[in-house]
Amino acid sequence: MSTPVEPEFNIERHLIPFLQDCPFFAELSRQLPKVPTSRIPTASVAYDKKYDQVTLFYNPKFFEGLSNSEVRGILTHEFYHLVFGHLTARVKKPSRMWNIATDLAINSIIVENSSRSRATTGDGEGRPLPRSALIPGQWSYVVEVKGETRIERELTPEEKTAAKLGALIASFPKMKASEWYFNELMKAAKEERDKNPGSGEGEGDEEGDGGFGSGSGGDDDFDNLFGPLDDHESWEDLPEEQREYIAGKVKAMVEKAVRHADSMSTGWGNIPMELRDDIRKSVSNVINWRSVLRQFIGNLMRGGRTTSIKRINRRYPYIHPGIKRGYTAKLLIARDESGSVSNEMLEAFYSELRSLTKKVEIDFVPFDCDISEKDVIRWTKGTSPDSASKRTRGGGTDFNAPTRLFNDPKNRGRWDGLLIMTDGMAPQPEGCRGRRGWILAEGCKLEFQSDELQVFVTPDKPIEGAWR
């Protein structure tokens, strides 16, 4: 996917004015490398294994034929895929239907928001998305490519009759979540299969037709008429063991963009108010402890790349070996065992740590007003060390104790991050040379101001997977 091409289309020329209008997207864009490529027909946000980063890939030839407002719409579309968690959520089957559902949810927001802006400002700028875009309540136009020329035209009555999937999309309401569109697509697909038993392979068909089979206005006809707005193929290639790691990277990017937008009076641009609140909630620190560690580690660890004959190479099956990555968290977790931390808090911390270490390996150490390096234990995946389940201290609290252990020159390179589990009842410590975060027991908070990551453990249910 990352095969470069000569960038005849200057994406920066479009990004600068667009991002001046919306600092939220500007901060998200700043963290996102942009790579021109001819390997995809349009655009895609994907995880680049080679460079271990989430990247925006785009085909300059596709963008050359678009207006400024259409380019802005597609960039917004790609940013929303990240914000809504589509990249790392487990792909629903049939994948083709899930891909359509996520596009419908996003395009609905873009079109609706554009309509609101025009009504408020009288802005007469062009359409917000290419005519071939899948939009609830609308028929897409046909896009034909002849040589290097794109020709857009309205469907003929015969084409509309044949394209059953297109007709269904044209009947949908706007501003629904991707789950809603997916369920409606699958419901219609089941009805289609019941009418035409030979048209599909069943609801779990992974080929993507979901029952709208070839010859009945199905996926083949649908793709031939409309074509894709962007490419989702790489989403399916993410191994399960990498999804949490990459989700952590994405959530950290979105969280940073939220903080940047909230620091400015016009930081959210024309993003709808109700959507701003949802985005804030999606990265809120009132989240599940597993999600916090996933996000925290996503900024720290890198994968070791090895070949494996057991993993099939998707591009060159049975010719070249597949790639396997192992991820190591260079993370120290220090648990406050001072007298102010109740046994219930300790039990809750231990329970969550035990769940987390099913997937990652950490170094663990207890502390109060003091700490001992000999108490540091390596908590390997899938184990439950007895020494971590019992209280071993009960004095006062000094956050300098774990910080100084982390900062000690002899431990340089040993850890990249420090998480302190505590009730927050101690003065502000000295600075930490690595990334430091705080896990605060339910109902607790730090006694000082800090810009570092703070997570408040609550019984609230966290947002998981694709949330819009």
Instruction: Check which CATH number belongs to the domain holding 259 and give it.
Output: 3.30.2010
pLDDT, residue 57, reads 94
Q: Which one-letter amino acid corresponds to residue 26?
A: A
Identity of the highest mean pLDDT range in 159-168, 341-350, 389-398: 389-398
pLDDT at site 15: 84
Sign of CA pseudo-dihedral 28, 33, 37, 40: negative
Residue 122 lies in a domain: yes
Please count the residues of the chain: 468
Whether 461 shows a pLDDT value over 50: the answer reads yes
- Residues 105, 39, single domain; the answer is no
Q: In the structure encoding, which two tokens stand for residue 240, read together?
A: 């399960």
Predicted local distance difference test score (pLDDT) of residue 6: 47
Question: What is the C-alpha separation between 69 and 62, in angstroms, rounded?
Answer: 14
Largest CA distance in the chain: 80
193 and 123 in a common domain = yes
- The yes-or-no verdict on residue 124 having pLDDT over 80 is no
Are residues 310 and 245 located together in one domain of the fold? no
CB atoms within 10 A of CB 219: 21
pLDDT of residue 459: 63
Domain around 387: 289-456
Lowest mean pLDDT among 193-197, 293-297, 369-373, 399-403: 293-297
Positive or negative CA dihedral for 108, 111, 115, 117?
A: positive
Percentages helix, strand, coil for the chain (3-state, rounded to 5) are: 40, 15, 45
Q: What pTM did the predictor assign?
A: 0.65
- Provide the b/e sequence for 339-377 (b: ≥16 CB within 10 Å): ebbeeebbebbbebbbebbebbbbbbbbbbeebeeeebe
Q: Which helix (H) or strand (E) holds 11?
A: helix 11-21
Q: How confident is the model at residue 407 (pLDDT cuts 50, 70, 90)?
A: very high
Which among 10-14, 20-24, 378-382 has the top mean pLDDT? 20-24
Q: Please tell me whether residues 107 and 78 are part of one structural domain.
A: no
* 190-195 long-range contacts, CB within 8 A, separation 24+: 192/164, 192/216
Q: What is the number of helices (H) and of strands (E) in the chain? A: 14, 13
Q: Phi first, then psi: give them for residue 45, nearest 5 degrees.
A: -95, 130
Q: What is the pLDDT of residue 1?
A: 55
At 366, list the tokens.
């207890």
Mean pLDDT across the stretch 190-198?
A: 80
Is the distance from CB of 381 to CB of 360 less than 8 angstroms?
Answer: yes
Do 262 and 398 belong together in one domain?
A: no
Beta strand pairing call for 321-327 and 303-312: antiparallel
Do 275 and 337 lie in one domain? The reply is no
Q: Provide the 8-state DSSP code for 4.
A: B
Q: How far apart are CA 44 and CA 233, in angstroms?
A: 9
Q: Is there a single domain that holds both residue 103 and residue 208?
A: yes
Higher pLDDT, 210 or 388: 388
User: Nearest to residue 354, comparing CAs of 380, 318, 390, 319?
Assistant: 380
- pLDDT tens-digit profile of 64-121? 888 888 999 999 999 999 999 998 887 888 888 899 999 999 999 999 888 766 544 4
Beta-bridged to residue 303, according to DSSP, are: 327
Which of 231, 238, 233, 228 has the alpha carbon at shortest distance from 47? Answer: 238
Give me the amino acid identity at 36. P
Inside any domain, residue 319: yes
Residue 75 Cα distances to 56, 105, 393, angstroms: 9, 15, 53
Nearest alpha-carbon partner for 428 in 457, 405, 451: 451
- The CA distance from 271 to 274, in Å, is 9
Q: Quick one: average pLDDT of 259-274?
A: 88
- State residue 465's pLDDT score: 74
Cβ atoms of 454 and 437 closer than 8 Å: yes
The pLDDT value recorded for residue 140 is: 75
Q: Which two tokens stand for residue 415?
A: 């850890």
Residue 445 lies in a domain: yes
* 394 assigned to some structural domain: yes
Same domain, residue pair 376 and 430: yes
pLDDT at 323: 55
> So what's the pLDDT on residue 46?
92
In the listed set 283, 309, 338, which residue is the last one of a domain according to the structure? 283
Q: In what order do the strands lie in the sheet with 53-58?
A: 34-36, 53-58, 43-48
Displacement of CA 286 from its chain's centroid (Å): 18
Residues 444 and 303 in one domain: yes
Please tell me whether residues 82 and 38 are part of one structural domain.
yes
Q: Is the pLDDT of residue 50 over 70?
A: yes
Nearest-CA neighbor of 85 among 124, 54, 51, 111?
A: 54
21 within a domain of the structure (yes/no): yes
Please provide the average confidence, as pLDDT, over all residues in the chain.
79
Same domain for 111 and 233? Answer: yes
Q: 439 and 303, same structural domain?
A: yes
- pLDDT computed for residue 330 by the predictor: 79
Q: Dump pLDDT digits (tens) for 303-320.
A: 444 455 555 555 555 555
Phi, psi for residue 123 in degrees, rounded to 5: -65, 125
For position 247, what pLDDT does the model report? 85
Asked if pLDDT for residue 183 goes beyond 90, the answer is yes
Backbone angles phi, psi at 267, to 5 degrees: -65, -25
Q: Are 249 and 55 in contact (CB under 8 A)?
A: no
| pLDDT band of 3, cuts 50, 70, 90 | low
> Above 90 in pLDDT, residue 368?
yes
pLDDT value at position 161?
67
- The closest alpha carbon to 112, from 348, 274, 338, 246, belongs to 274
Q: What is the mean pLDDT of residues 119-147?
A: 71
Average pLDDT over residues 325-344: 79
Q: What is the pLDDT of residues 427-458, one digit of tens each?
A: 999 999 988 989 888 888 899 988 888 877 76
Q: Residues of the chain with pLDDT > 90: what percent?
A: 29
| CATH of residue 298 | 3.40.50
Q: Is the pLDDT of residue 204 over 60?
A: no
Question: What is the number of domains present in the chain?
Answer: 3
pLDDT tens per residue, range 215-243:
334 445 565 556 567 788 888 888 777 88
Closest CA to 235 of 406, 137, 88: 88
